[in-house]
A and B are shown apart, each in its own frame.
Chain A
Amino acid sequence: MEAVAEEIGANVVPFRANVLTERDLSKKHRVPWTPSFLFLDADGVEHHRFIGYLPPDEFTAQIRLAGAKAAFNRGAWEESARRYAEIAEKFPQTDAAPESVYWIGVCDFKRTKNVERIYEQCRETAKRYPNHIWGKKLAFVK
């Protein structure tokens, strides 16, 4: 878990909330089960969450995914595409990779208005990850 600790130290601000003593905060953020990991910006707006502890690679990829989503949500298309591409390249076997491959295309479309970039990344996702839910959902694009 050393790699995860380094990732946390370098890329996020970590905070732990005991749901039994932080009841209001847990209720406010609609946390139904533990452990839940929420990724929030400085205004408290949530950009990503997952439930349960994960192996190091998956955990790290989820942290990176949160950063890519937050960049997307603030319209930073180039930064978001770069972050998604990094996930796809460095963590290709993780659960975060298939959707990252897809969102690269969406970011490119947002930036260039070239809709073909979405279709290309849909095909790429379905080709690389045919058994993943993201590959299945994008398999209709020929």
Chain B
Amino acid sequence: MPIAWESSFDAALAKSRETGRLVMAEFHSPH
């Protein structure tokens, strides 16, 4: 099952508000 990453931080917060779920923000480096 692929992970459905939100396209932006604001979109993630909006979905969090809509669903009541926490945002899991993964901060990563491309290296």
The CA of A6 and the CA of B24, in the complex, are separated in Å by 14
The count of residues in chain A whose C-beta lies closer than 8 Å to any C-beta of chain B is 36
The count of residues in chain B whose C-beta lies closer than 8 Å to any C-beta of chain A is 26
Decide: A15 and B25 in contact? CB cutoff 8 A. Answer: yes
The answer to whether A29 has its CB under 8 Å from any CB of chain B is yes
Decide: A37 and B22 in contact? CB cutoff 8 A. Answer: no
B-chain residues with CB within 8 Å of residue A63 when the two chains form the complex: 24
- A40 CB, nearest partner CB in chain B, Å: 5
- A residues 23-53 with Cβ under 8 Å of B? 25-26, 29, 31, 34-44, 47
Considering residues B4, B15, B17, B24, which has the most beta carbons from chain A within 10 angstroms of its beta carbon? Answer: B24
Decide: A42 and B6 in contact? CB cutoff 8 A. Answer: no
Interface, chain A (partner B; CB < 8 A): 2, 5-6, 8-9, 11-20, 22, 25-26, 29, 31, 34-44, 47, 63, 66-67, 70
Interface, chain B (partner A; CB < 8 A): 1-6, 8-9, 11-17, 19, 21-30
